A and B are shown apart, each in its own frame.
Chain A
Amino acid sequence: MKEKFNKLSQKKAFWPVVIFLVILLFNGVVSGGDFFKLSIVDGHLYGRVIDIFRNGSKLMILAAGMTMVLATGGTDISVGSVMAISGAIACSIVNGNILPGLNGNVVVAIILAILAGITCGFWNGILVAKIKIQPIVATMILLVAGRGIAQLVTQGKIITITSDAYYFINGGYILGLPFPLFIVIFLAGVLILFVGRTSFGLFLESVGCNPKASKFAGIQVDKMLLVIYTISGGFAAVAGLIESAGIKGADCNNAGLNIELDAILAVAIGGTNLMGGRFSIPASLAGALIVQSITTTVLAQGVPAAYIRVLKAVLIIVICLSQSKEFKEMLTSHKAAKKRKAVGE
């Protein structure tokens, strides 16, 4: 039994999941149990916990893609802007503003929006892998320009749409569970399977650790980077669809604003080294849920939204400290010094 626990606690996702559960429990206690209340209306599950999963779905998707980007030692700060582009394209097509010949075909709109995201990711990949621009600078280009592109698509307007089919992306239910959850399970599942069943994960960790030596060992570092940034762009587009379906329209200025920081935070909470190397997608998903549940908790307690930022800042400090070798040494050497004193050395 204890052995089993030890083995479980070795897993990277273990502590993030535990922390997430603790946050849920805290909410449950404070709310006197209301928090865990689930109600079924029309065969659909409703409740605060369900909300966390639904609202956290975007972040989970972004975090899954971001995990791999960070594992290479890079970063992708353009995901928020890519979300805006994808939402703008999808909504503009659905309400007939562009390509009116499609008659607002939702499926085509979705496909084109995702293709746009993939193109954005590919562009980032080219800049990083082939032209060797530092990732933060390379993706900053789209961070800045992306919202401009989205504005061009929507001609500077906020677009609202009426399409039940499109709303379904965020508000739909399957088997009583919210639809975005299935998107997360599908995308993250495919990714986790891909990483686990092939040697992609090994290669990725190797590249993140020592790109030069990886190249000598026969890993095609440039190709890997290209694929990873492309996936991140595609995932961001999907998150953008969920977002726009949630607000029933496209708001180029606010869609996915600053969400790249949350995504990076989620991955960091999951324990992936931001300098590259070892990574875990499940741990990042749990990290995303933690970030989301903190937001929800603070709002539920009626604390002003401004405090969410302060709380996140505290969280970041705690993570940095827990990852810092120097800090750990400071603690242990303090302990050791105490011990030494006690022994009378």
Chain B
Amino acid sequence: MANDNQLLKARNISKSFGKAVIALDNVQFDLNRGEIHALLGENGAGKSTLIKVLTGVEERDSGTVFLNGKEIRPKSTQDAQNEGIATVYQEVNLCPNLSVAENIYIGREPRNKFGKIDWKKINADAEELLKRFDLHINVTKNLDNYSVAVQQMIAIARACDIDAKVLILDEPTSSLSTVEVEKLFGIMRRLRKEGMGILFVTHFLDQVYEVTDRITVYRNGGYVGTYQTAELPRVELVAKMIGKDYASLNESVVAGQLGEEKAAGGEELIELCGVSSPGTIQDFNVKVRKGEVLGLSGLLGSGRSETARVLFGVDSVGKGEMKLKKEKVHFKSPLDAIRSGIAFCPENRKTEGIIGDLTIRENIVLALQSKRGMFQKISKKEAERLADEYIEKLEIKTPDAGQLIKNLSGGNQQKVILARWLATDPEFLMLDEPTRGIDIGTKAELQKIVIDLAKQGMAVLFISSEIDEMLRCCKRMIVLRDMRQVGELKGKEISEEAIMNIMAGGEK
């Protein structure tokens, strides 16, 4: 009987890359009609690899996949789509140089009766589709005009629009804020009702319990088990993912909460005085003190990342001025900012972070090298020491530092980029969605590192869509809306309601 309901069945799947990396070792996965099924595991557990194998991006070494009882072996994503599997990959793989509407309908363009592509219809349909996600944007503009989060929403909208039986979402919520996540869940629930099977990967356990029916856990490329969500307590779930017992995890949670008693901020390090930047932020007055973690909150497009970009010399200061240690500064390029002791871990790891064809080691030393200058070459020994230090500290999962970064799992790539900036030993560290795609164990670890760094006197600007994390790390918080500063919260005032209230328009 249960079999009638079965939509997708994968058995004995193995996949390795070279000799050193066994990404999947004899794993299985089941998906029923009308079910949302979470696939969970640490960074590098093999979740994305399973998805790539299911959808024809990678060829499996062994194993079988049945869809509706029929064995399938897709050779490409197009193939998989034709079989009825729509996918949003972890790294958004849309075309930055095409318009939003083209991206949504590429490969399945509606045509008029003369066989010509019906642009009017494409644009109108795209607009209509995105409205369902409350995304009111100009669909004729090129995709790269929009932030990662918007791109992620577009990718999701595209996948939901494809007439599919199986929908696969690999960390779709990693850069979305609560509001957008709710919208996505609404749509997922509707699709579930219509009988679709949804595979959902995330590192947010709240979301798992909110929306999924069953959970499958992988660890280190191996299959751990499949459980009914309602019957699996959170603690047990975590233990299954991490493979450590509850006690040792508890320790790291407690460690995270230690941050409650955060050091009081010292003297001002950097300051924006009435700064506007052409086309983005308007009239910003922001001070960051030594030893404090300042949070920037706001919805998508509220100006969080834009503020960091101005501070880092990527976007120019139009009006107003910037001061570093009370002295006026003008950064012409990121290099100027880096030389002044500033580090910025940007939100879009694929386009602004990783250098795919370079090794982990090279990626880690890159910013430090430009800080020191081209002629002070970092010796091989020092590079090795740095890389190994951070691989251990951030638990980057890789056989060695000589691997190409593009072969790492998403979360591990993120850790390398963090390592790159920590290695420059900055006075002012800006983190834009630093824990995007990072698993829960490491997330607590990272938050602890940030709080510790601040304790030692570093100034930190922290941007995250995850309110929990902001509450844990930040001592002061500036709330933004529509490229303007609309409020500031300090110490005990900071709470989810207070933030939401300001965001929604109750100015403070």
Contact = CB atoms under 8 A, between A and B. Distances in A.
Chain A partners chain B: yes
Interface of A: 197-200, 202-203, 205-206, 209-210, 212-220, 277-278, 333
A136 B493 CA distance: 58
Contacts, number: 75
Given A199-B369, A202-B366, A220 B335 contact: yes
Interface stretch (B22-30, B104-112, B229-237, B349-357): B349-357
Nearest to B421: A217
Given A198-B377, A202-B362, A209-B355, A216 B335 contact: no
A220 B333 contact: yes
A154 B356 CA distance: 49
Interface in B331-346: 333-335, 338-339, 344, 346
Given A216-B344, A218-B371, A199 B378 contact: yes
A6 to B, nearest CB: 14
B367 A205 contact: no
A26 B209 CA distance: 71
B482 interface: no
A216 B333 CA distance: 9
Given A203-B374, A218-B334, A220-B333, A213 B354 contact: yes
A333 B358 contact: no
Contacts of B355: 205-206, 209-210, 213-214, 217
A11 B375 CA distance: 25
Nearest to B362: A202
Contacts of B357: 205, 209, 277-278
Contact of B370 (A213, A219, A278): A219
Contact of A200 (B312, B366, B374): B374
B47 interface: no
B279 to A, nearest CB: 18
Contact of A216 (B59, B314, B358, B369): B314
B443 interface: no
Nearest to A224: B374
A161 to B, nearest CB: 41
B377 A199 contact: yes
Given A199-B369, A202-B369, A209-B358, A216 B352 contact: yes
A300 to B, nearest CB: 40
B427 to A, nearest CB: 15
B352 A203 contact: no
A201 to B, nearest CB: 9
Report, as a range, how many residues of chain B touch the other chain: 20 to 34
Contacts of B367: 217-218
B374 A215 contact: no
Contacts of B344: 216
A218 B340 CA distance: 12
Most chain B beta carbons < 10 A, residue from A202, A217, A219? A217
Nearest to A220: B335
Given A205-B357, A216-B352, A217-B370, 7 more contacts: A210-B354, A213-B352, A214-B355, A216-B346, A218-B339, A219-B370, A220-B335
Nearest to A221: B333
Contacts of A219: 335, 366, 370
Given A205-B358, A206-B355, A217 B366 contact: yes
A277 B356 CA distance: 10
B420 interface: yes
A197 to B, nearest CB: 7
A216 B353 contact: yes
26 contacts: A198-B377, A199-B369, A202-B362, A202-B366, A203-B369, A205-B357, A205-B358, A206-B358, A206-B362, A206-B366, A210-B351, A212-B352, A213-B351, A213-B353, A213-B355, A215-B333, A216-B312, A216-B334, A216-B344, A216-B353, A217-B420, A218-B334, A218-B339, A218-B370, A218-B371, A219-B335
Contacts of B314: 215-216
Nearest to A196: B377
B337 to A, nearest CB: 8
Contacts of A202: 358, 362, 366, 369
Contacts of A197: 377
Nearest to A206: B355
B352 A198 contact: no
Contacts of A277: 357
B335 A218 contact: yes
A13 B346 CA distance: 37
B370 to A, nearest CB: 3
A170 B185 CA distance: 74
Contacts of B356: 209-210
Contacts of B374: 198-200, 203
Nearest to A214: B355
Nearest to A276: B357
A200 B334 CA distance: 18
Contacts of A278: 357
Contacts of B369: 199, 202-203
Contacts of B366: 202, 206, 214, 217-219
A231 B371 CA distance: 25
A209 B420 CA distance: 17
Contacts of B351: 210, 212-213
The 5 closest A-B CB pairs, nearest first, are A218-B370, A218-B338, A218-B335, A217-B366, A277-B357
Contacts of A220: 333, 335
B18 to A, nearest CB: 14
Interface in B345-402: 346, 351-358, 362, 366-367, 369-371, 374-375, 377-378
Contacts of A199: 369, 374-375, 377-378
Nearest to B377: A199
A11 to B, nearest CB: 15
Most chain B beta carbons < 10 A, residue from A202, A209, A215, A218? A218
Nearest to A216: B352
A198 B353 contact: no
A34 to B, nearest CB: 45
A28 B357 CA distance: 40
A199 B374 CA distance: 5
A4 to B, nearest CB: 19
Nearest to B312: A216
B292 to A, nearest CB: 24
Interface in B254-289: none
A20 to B, nearest CB: 26
A38 to B, nearest CB: 41
A158 B339 CA distance: 54
Nearest to B62: A345
